[in-house]
Amino acid sequence: MIDIRHQLKQAASDDGVPLRTDVRQLLDRARTDRRRHRTRTVALAVIPTVAVLVAGGLLGTSLLPAEPGRSGQPAGAPSVGSTIQEPTSDPGLPPTAANLTQVLVTADGWTFDGMDNSKQWGGSQIWTNGGQWLEVQWYPASEYDSYLRDRRVDTTERAVDLLGQSGLEFTEKPDIGSSPPGADHPEPSNDARTQASLGTGGMVADGHRVYTILPAVGDYFLMIDAYTTNEAAFDEVVSSLTRVDKPTWEQAIDQGVVTEAEGAAFLAEAKQGVPMPAAVDITVDDLNLPQSPYQARAAFAGPVLCGWAEQYVAGAQHALDILRASRDWPVLQQMRPEGDYAEVVAETIEQLASGTTDKGNPFTPELFDQAVGC
C-alpha cells in the first residue's frame, strides 16, 4: 500500500491523488482485497505537479493534514438549517469534468488501497488507515437526485464546502450501527474494513460513518464515503482531501493501478493463452484505465467469455469446451489470489451448460452477461 503523504513529501524533496448492477455485485463478491463496498441506491488549480519543500513546509499548497474541525460560511451555499462547514486545508484545483476524480488523501497514516473505474457505472478510489477507510466515489450525474434521497434516510444532514464545491454531508445516526446490514444499510465488503469495523454479527461497530455528496460536474458527481473511529478522525482525513493535476495524481496512485501508459503492455499480457472469439476486439480503452489490476483483468475477460457464450447459445458446441478451458487462462489464474472471479466464472459456465441456476431456475444468457461482466 502507498503512503501518499510520505510519497508527495519525498517527491517534493527530490524534484525541487439497491447495487448498481448485478455485474457490480459479482465483482464486489469476487473481490476479497482492495474492493469498494456497495452503497444503497433507490434505483439502482492550482497545486503544482509537486510543490517545492521549503523550511519543512510545502510551498504553494497544504498537503499536510489540517487541524481537525471545519468552519466558515461560503457564499451561495445550500441551506439545510445548519451552519456550513469548510475544510481548513487547500482543496486544490477547482473541479472540472476532466479532473473531478483526481483527488488524494494526504493525512498521516492513510494509504491508497485500490481503485475501480467504469465509464458506465462510475468508480472509486479506496484509502485505508487500519480499520478506518475512505472512498472517493463517482457516479453518473443522472443518479445524483436518487443518491440524495437515499442518503437522507436514517442520517443527520448538513451543508459543507469540500474540494471547491458546496455539497451535503450525511452522518449515520448512532443507532444505525446496531441494525443488520441489508437494503436499508450499506455493508462494507472489503475484508480489511470488515474485520476492523464490523462486529461478529456483520454489523457496523462503534465508529463514525459519513457520506458527503457534491454536485455533478460534467458527467459525474462525487460522493465521499468515510468510516473513521470518531468525528475528530473524520475531520482530519476529510480536511486533507485535495485535488491535483493528472501527473501528480497518476504518480501517487501508480503502484496500485494499471495506468493508461501501461495499458498496451497490460492488454498484451492479458491476451496470452486466451482464444479470442470472432467479432470481439478488446482495446486499451475498454479496460477503463486507470484501474486496479484485478478490475482491469475482469474488464478484459468479461467480453471474451461473453463472446464465447453467445456462440454456444447460437449452437456452436465447441464454444462450451473453450469456456470450460478458461479456468486455465493465465489472466484468470492471476486473479485467483485476490478474489473469486475465476471461480464464479467456472460456476456460471456450468449453469449455462445445464440450463439451470444453482437454485434450479432457468438460466438465461442475460444471467451469464450479468454474472461475468460483458
The rounded percent of the chain whose pLDDT value lies above 70 is 68
Calpha distance 356→311 (Å, rounded): 18
Q: Is 232 found in the same domain as 352?
A: no
The pLDDT value recorded for residue 84 is 39
Q: What is the DSSP string of 158-198?
A: EEEEETTEEEEEEEEPGGGGGSPPBTTB-----HHHHHHHB
Tell whether 68 and 52 lie within a shared domain. yes
Provide the pLDDT for residue 26: 37
- Mean pLDDT score across all residues of the chain: 75
Last residue of one domain, picked from the residues 228, 256, 284 = 256
Helix (H/G/I), strand (E/B), else coil: 54: strand
Q: What are the DSSP calls for 325-349, one per residue?
A: HGGG-HHHHTTTTTBSHHHHHHHHH
The residue from 256, 285, 317 where one domain ends is 256
pLDDT tens digits, one per residue of 258-286: 999 999 999 999 999 999 999 899 999 99
Rounded-to-10 torsion of CA 134, 136, 141, 144: 20
Residues 32 and 181 occupy one common structural domain: yes
Domain boundary among the residues 231, 256, 281 is at 256
| 164 and 213, same domain (yes or no) | yes
At 159, list the grid cell: 451543508
Residues 118 and 24 in one domain: yes
201 and 327: one domain? no
Same domain? For 151 and 296 the reply is no
Same domain as 339, residue 225: no
Give residue 343's domain range.
Answer: 260-372
The beta-carbon contacts of 332-337 under 8 Å, at least 24 apart in sequence, are 332/297, 332/301, 334/293, 334/297, 335/294, 335/297, 335/298
Tally of domains in the chain? 2
| Same-domain check for residues 319 and 221 | no
In the structure, how many helices (H) and strands (E) does the chain have? 12, 12
232 and 362 co-located in one domain: no
Which positions of the chain have pLDDT values less than 50? Answer: 1-88, 176-204
Same domain, 132 and 264: no
Could you tell me if 238 and 268 lie in one domain?
no
Q: Which amino acid is at 275?
A: P
**What pLDDT sits at residue 299?**
94
